[in-house]
Amino acid sequence: MSLWTVHGDGRRLAEGEVVRSDERLSWPMTITLGLQHLAAMFGATVLVPALTGFPVSATLLFSGIGTLLFLALTRNRVPAYLGSSFAFVAPLVAAKSQGVPAELGGVLIAGLLLFVVGVAVKALGIRLVDSVMPPVVTGAVIVLITLNQAPTAARGAGYQPFFAALTVVVIALCAVLSRGLLARISVLIGVVVGWVAAALAGRLDPAALTALGNASWVGLPTIQHPELRSSVALLMLPAVFVLVAQNVAHIKAIGAVTGRDLDGHIGDTLIATGLAATLAGAGGGSAGSTYAENIGVMAATRVYSTAAYVVAAVGAVALSLSPKISALVATVPAGVIGGATLMLYGLVALVGVRIWQENEVDLTDPLNLLVAGVAVAVGIGNVTVDIGPMQVGGIVWGSVLIVIGHPMLRRLRALRD
């Protein structure tokens, strides 16, 4: 029995149609879409190990393996790519002085904790999540997590504004004015055109080009082993909380745009993400999380097929085994990546707004308005507070505020009434 049924003729989508997770387009188009997902996640995925000291090759390897594990454990129902999670950047940087093995130990512990949370959700039911994360909460988490990363994309775009604008314009023209293949791979086309323009203008990073010339075609990823330290494990607790929020928000976002109720898969999603993080921590990679960039690609293409993610995951594993290819992708200019990700972040942020609309969230209610508004502002503003050796940023504070603050105030108001 085939894992995916072919949607329509495998080439075209009628107005308003989407390709569901258990469907696919023709294999040539599916492979191209998979490469687009690979391109969308690459910049952010390699940025995390660059900031934390992890080997890029190992991070790519465990990113691909973790995604395949995720798709298997969620029974091919939840389209997602597990790229490096930015929620771990602050605690890992705080633990950087203790060495990569200690950092990996923290990732491993965080993965195990997330796995336990997933088992609890699966055993106790979706009501456990719904009671903590109703639509007003999930919508706010999607908005704040997505737009928290927008300044990073904006800085890249501002560094090379012409190439960023060219990338955005090409993506928009392909997505809006074309049909079929060009519309489906609009992001990839935009990135390629931006790269070619930068190459012709001599604006590719010389250091990246030198690294490309010196890189070998085949090489094994750098594998390291974890070292468990309680001090580092404690630093990872906020990241676990954020991963729970991100995974629930991802499920809600995919369900909203596909019109399918995926809430029953939240437990499996948390279990799969936890096991993938545990595996990464055991071998030298950064913990993974579902990616806003890839949700943006799905929103732009209306293709939610897990087949494309299988292609992307296999591609990531292949990249991890080829320093030359990894070095080639690393030559994509910051402006091109910034332009593409800015557009994708905007698309995903509006998915959060769509969840509010479709669930008729009353934003005139002071409880919803104030708590969600402050949480989003804290997340987007990236309010950062030093707690001992760790800097806790806006994603954590915003998520904590909305996930804990909303149910607490709701119960207090119920007691008042």
- pLDDT for the residue numbered 254: 76
Over residues 179-200, the mean pLDDT reads 77
DSSP of 192-209 = HHHHHHHHHTT-S-HHHH
Does 339 score more than 80 pLDDT?
Answer: yes
Rounded to 5°, angle at Cα 44 from 40 and 45: 95
The residue extents of the domains of the chain are 20-359
Identify the pLDDT of residue 11.
Answer: 77
Q: Which residues contact 206 (CB under 8 A, 6 or more apart)?
A: none
So what's the pLDDT on residue 314?
Answer: 92
Q: How confident is the model at residue 313 (pLDDT cuts 50, 70, 90)?
A: very high
- CA-to-CA distance for 120 and 126, rounded, in angstroms? 10
- Indicate whether 6 pLDDT > 50: yes
Mean pLDDT, to the nearest integer, of 23-50?
A: 79
Residue ranges of the alpha helices (H) in 259-333? 266-283, 292-301, 306-320, 323-329
Confidence (pLDDT) at 311: 92
Mean pLDDT lowest for which of 107-121, 262-276, 327-341, 388-402? Answer: 388-402
Distance CA 313, CA 79 (A): 12
In tens, the pLDDT along 165-178 reads: 998 898 888 877 77
Does the pLDDT of residue 350 top 90, yes or no? no
* Mean pLDDT of the region 72-93: 78
Phi, psi of 203 (to 5 degrees): -105, 15
Could you tell me if 253 and 352 are in contact, meaning their C-beta atoms sit under 8 angstroms apart?
Answer: yes
Number of helices and strands in the chain (H, E) = 20, 6
Distance (Å, rounded) from C-alpha 416 to C-alpha 197?
Answer: 63
Residue 86: pLDDT band (50, 70, 90) is: low
DSSP 75: T
In this prediction, residue 1 has a pLDDT band, given cuts at 50, 70 and 90, of: very low
Going by C-alpha positions, the residue among 351, 310, 302, 314 that lies closest to residue 20 is 302
Per-residue pLDDT, averaged over 246-275, amounts to 80
Mean pLDDT of the chain: 80
pLDDT attached to residue 414: 80
- Say whether pLDDT at 299 is over 60: yes
- At 332 the pLDDT is 80
pLDDT tens for each residue of 45-68:
776 776 566 777 888 898 899 999
* Strand pairing class (288-290; 82-84): antiparallel
What's the pLDDT score for residue 235? 67
Q: Give the range among 99-113, 306-320, 327-341 with minimum mean pLDDT.
A: 327-341
pLDDT value at 133 more than 80: no
For 80-86, what is the mean pLDDT? 81
374-416 pLDDT per residue, tens? 888 888 888 877 777 666 677 777 877 887 888 888 888 887 7
Evaluate if residue 110 carries a pLDDT over 90.
no
For residue 288, give the H/E element and its range: strand 288-290
pLDDT number for residue 348: 67
pLDDT at 115: 92
3-class SS shares of the chain: helix, strand, coil, % to 5: 70, 5, 25
Tell me the per-residue pLDDT of 217-237, one tens digit each, with 9 for 90 and over. 888 877 788 888 776 776 676
- Over 70: is that where the pLDDT of 277 sits? yes
Strand 5-6 to strand 23-24: parallel, antiparallel, or no bridges (unpaired)?
parallel
- Largest distance between two CA atoms of the chain: 70
CB count within 10 Å of CB 109 equals: 24
